[in-house]
A and B are shown apart, each in its own frame.
Chain A
Amino acid sequence: MTGIVALYIFMLAAFTGYEVIARVPVILHTPLMSGSNFVHGIVLVGAMVALGSATTPLEKTIGFIGVLLAAGNAVGGYAVTERMLEMFKSSGARGGKDGKGGGAKAGH
């Protein structure tokens, strides 16, 4: 990938990120932050490549820590985001008084 192409990608991705969430309501701020936190868990693929090309013990150690942390970012980010968004329901979807299932148990 040449430098200028990379810059094009950078610019377009920056606009995309801005536009995608420009009109997000306050109620979704926390889940969306968590969701974008998950998305940068893509650092996992970079950490895998770094560890996959490591040769010295020092490189291997740092690479191992990198993959460990990156996997934590991706999986943890997914787990909490999914848990939060799973709970968002509208009145139409609540079906009688069954609104207390699932996540409510965690509170007791």
Chain B
Amino acid sequence: MSDLHFSADALIQASYLVTAFLFIMGLKRMSSPVTARSGILWAGAGMLVATLATFFYPGMTNFPLIIIAVVIGSAVAWISGRRVAMTNIPQMIALYNGMGGGAAAAIAAVELYRGEQQTTAGATLAVVGGIIGAVSFSGSLIAFGKLQGLIRKSLRFGGQQLLNLLILAAALVLGAMVASGYNATAGMVTGLFAAALVLGLSMTLPIGGADMPVVISLYNALTGLAVAFEGFVLGNAAMIIAGTVVGSAGTLLTQLMAKAMNRSLGNVLFSGFGDTGAAAAGTEVTGSLKPIEAADAGVMMAFAQKVIIVPGYGMAVAQAQHKVWELTQLLIDRGVTVRFAIHPVAGRMPGHMNVLLAEAGVPYDLIADLDEINAEFETADVALVIGANDVVNPVARNDKSSPIYGMPILNADKAKNVIVIKRGQGAGFSGIENALFYLDNTRMLYGDGQAAVASLIAAVKSV
């Protein structure tokens, strides 16, 4: 009998080793656009291997419950994940991440309520992983609610940071009592998780929607860490490795994202802004807006050598990306060089706009980020700005009194001609007038994004 157990255990350990290998290779492949597609397949295979192997874990019971939970959880997630619109991907990542954090907290809860933790070290790890997992769970749900538009207000009041600190202290004190086993009761375990859940809520509620991507990325890293800690508790190498890899990769990714958005992590977490609609300050912009007809704009682009398209989130909201790609193909067929210039905050999170363009069929090698493309605007005949505003506002470069001063921008104003597709006259996301619109080389093409591009397509076709 013990022989049988030994071989089952060896098989499971070997499966986990294979899983760890597949995860790491998968992530490695996901970090290059050429191999990214196969990366998720590798990682997916790893998950399948580990899940199947776990059914053979020695001493497992409750199989009907396990299977029911797996089937329901998988089905709901699969359907929601398949159906969600690409514009809503960031909040779905938050949601699935929160679920992972919740699961890590649940593992800790089962272990702690049972109260049979053999060592203080094991109990301590269960407590720490449980707190992190619970914070990530409730925090991610708030992030989801904010991006989905379910929570519109950012709750802020004086002494908020102090309150958060007190809640954290309460969670830690209860955790220490539970971990040391000194008079630990089930009530303490409950209080510990309640405090951690409240902490996640109160930490995330004051953070504005624009900063949410950084927060989601941070919670992603935290969930990884929580999973690793619970892996220590269960002696499960696959969880330790996968959780730690995500914890460190996620931390790095969070820093990269914060940098791409010109914010620091501390700034995001503790300064309590990142809301849109900040008071518009800055120097008054002078000049006039000069409209252009679609027919003239189409001719201008059709006879250009080089066109750079600057898409913003407004383009995605108008669902104009498919039309934009159609226009691009027409221009390429006429021999025009077309490139897309993507600002780091063009979508809802860094890289999101690339996903939206990819959805429309735009090949990734036509897409350039800010550092690559900025020098090229000077050689472009036309810069077509669609649904973007603050990220092309030259005041960020030269007006020290402007709230967006210092933010890196796309130098669309350096192109010979600038065409701006815009629904109407009005300030941008941040409420700041855009000096680009008033320049001598800028023409405004008014209209809904999709309709305006459709008329540009018609104009290019008729040339």
* Chain A interface (Cβ < 8 Å from any Cβ of B): 1, 3, 6, 9-10, 13-18, 20-56, 58-60, 62-94, 97, 99-101, 103-104, 106-108
Contacts and interface: CB of A to CB of B under 8 A. Distances in A.
A1 B96 contact: no
9 contacts: A25-B369, A29-B257, A37-B97, A42-B243, A49-B236, A63-B110, A69-B73, A91-B363, A99-B363
B411 interface: no
Contacts of B113: 56, 58-59, 62
B100 A70 contact: yes
B61 A53 contact: yes
B77 A71 contact: yes
Contact of A75 (B39, B77, B355): B77
B347 interface: yes
B103 A44 contact: yes
A40 B227 contact: yes
A3 to B, nearest CB: 7
B127 to A, nearest CB: 15
A73 B363 contact: no
A107 B66 contact: no
Per DSSP, chain A at the interface is helix
Contacts of A86: 37
Contacts of B298: none
A35 B40 contact: yes
Given A18-B248, A78-B44, A85-B40, A62 B106 contact: yes
Contacts of A99: 325, 329, 360-363
Contact of A24 (B31, B66, B73, B223): B31
Contact of A52 (B16, B61, B109, B216): B61
B455 interface: no
Per DSSP, chain B at the interface is helix
Given A6-B232, A66-B107, A78-B40, A21 B69 contact: no
A40 B24 contact: no
Interface centre among B19, B51, B85 (most CB of A within 10 A): B51
Nearest to A24: B31
Contact of A29 (B86, B232, B238, B253): B253
B280 to A, nearest CB: 28
Interface in B327-369: 329, 342, 344, 347, 349-352, 354-355, 358-367, 369
Contacts of A100: 322, 325-326, 360-361
B188 to A, nearest CB: 15
Interface centre among B322, B325, B359 (most CB of A within 10 A): B359
A16 B256 CA distance: 17
Nearest to A78: B44
A10 B352 CA distance: 31
A64 to B, nearest CB: 5
A87 B355 contact: yes
Contacts of B62: 51-52, 54, 60, 63
A105 to B, nearest CB: 10
B217 interface: yes
Interface string B4-28: 0000000000001001000110111
B147 interface: no
A27 B223 contact: no
A106 B89 CA distance: 13
Contact of A87 (B217, B240, B358): B358
B80 interface: yes
A37 B47 contact: no
A20 B32 CA distance: 11
A9 B99 CA distance: 25
B66 A52 contact: yes
Given A41-B100, A67-B103, A75-B77, A88 B61 contact: no
B236 A45 contact: yes
Contacts of B329: 97, 99
B249 A36 contact: yes
B389 interface: no
Nearest to B61: A52
Contacts of B82: 79, 83
B407 interface: no
B350 to A, nearest CB: 4
A44 B250 CA distance: 19
Contact of A43 (B53, B239, B342, B369): B239
A9 to B, nearest CB: 5
Contacts of A30: 89-90, 93, 347, 349-352, 354-355
